[in-house]
């Protein structure tokens, strides 16, 4: 009986030490930990979708759930783990508050509403070799686009992804490298994170 208690005690001690070791690593290397988890979680989740697109798994729409889940399972889940580890239970309130912040200055609203659409328009001109027209747009298109936008925003990439990239990673990168270098570095890591998407036709791969 005593030997069994000793064995159990040793196991619990070892488990506690390993947990403390993992937590210590997350606290010591928060950015590295975040990016490793974001990549690992997302890429593992995407495997069933990729295999279905390649014909190894049945090519059914059921596997599309893995395509949309990769943003939740990657950047968002990694951010949740890191926020909880570094800042405790109340950290998520701060994240929600930052997401809902609207007081960012007029120049950023103008940038979002003018510069970004202009850049997208210029990109379409360059890619297509001509100025796009709007004569084929109709009411049905706008309704479909509106619902698609809402669904993709909340269930696709924008909201869950940016919780990780901009909510967790960018502020910490900026504290190390400054705004410009941090943004450039994050853009490279963000782009490379999408690599598995281009293994299928889902994003013209």
DSSP assignment of 13-79 equals HHHHHHHHHHHHHHHHSHHHHHHHHHHHHHHHHHHHHHHHHTTSS---GGGHHHHHHHHIIIIIHHH
Instruction: Give the number of residues written for the chain.
Output: 205
Rounded Cα gap, residues 121 and 183, in angstroms: 23
pLDDT at 95: 76
Whether residue 205 is predicted with pLDDT greater than 70 in this model: the reply is no
**How many domains does the chain fold into?**
1
pTM (2 d.p.):
0.73
Asked if 167 and 99 touch (Cβ cutoff 8 Å), the reply is yes
Between 156 and 28, the more confident residue is 28
pLDDT at 198: 82
Mean pLDDT value of segment 113-127: 90
Whether residue 6 is predicted with pLDDT greater than 50 in this model: the reply is no
Between 70 and 77, the more confident residue is 77
Which residue range forms the structural domain that includes residue 56?
A: 2-203
Asked if 200 and 53 touch (Cβ cutoff 8 Å), the reply is yes
Rounded Cα gap, residues 78 and 37, in angstroms: 6
pLDDT in tens, 35-70: 999 999 988 888 888 888 888 887 777 767 777 677
């Amino acid at each position: 009986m005593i030997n069994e208690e000793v064995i159990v005690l040793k196991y619990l001690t070892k488990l506690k030490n390993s947990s403390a070791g993992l937590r210590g690593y997350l606290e010591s290397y928060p950015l590295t930990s975040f990016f490793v988890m974001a990549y690992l979680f997302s890429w593992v989740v995407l495997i069933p979708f990729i295999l279905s697109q390649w014909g190894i798994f049945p090519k059914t729409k059921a596997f599309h759930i893995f395509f949309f889940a990769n943003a939740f399972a990657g950047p968002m889940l990694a951010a949740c783990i890191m926020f909880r580890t570094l800042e405790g239970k109340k950290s998520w309130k701060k994240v929600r508050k930052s997401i809902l912040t609207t007081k960012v200055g007029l120049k950023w609203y103008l940038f979002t509403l003018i510069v970004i659409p202009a850049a997208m328009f210029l990109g379409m001109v360059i890619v297509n070799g001509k100025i796009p027209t709007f004569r084929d747009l109709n009411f049905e298109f706008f309704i479909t686009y509106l619902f698609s936008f809402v669904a993709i925003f909340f269930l696709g990439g924008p909201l869950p992804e940016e919780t990780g990239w901009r909510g967790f990673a960018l502020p910490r990168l900026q504290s190390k490298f400054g705004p410009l270098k941090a943004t450039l570095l994050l853009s490279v890591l963000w782009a490379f994170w999408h690599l598995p998407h281009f293994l299928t036709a889902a994003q013209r791969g």
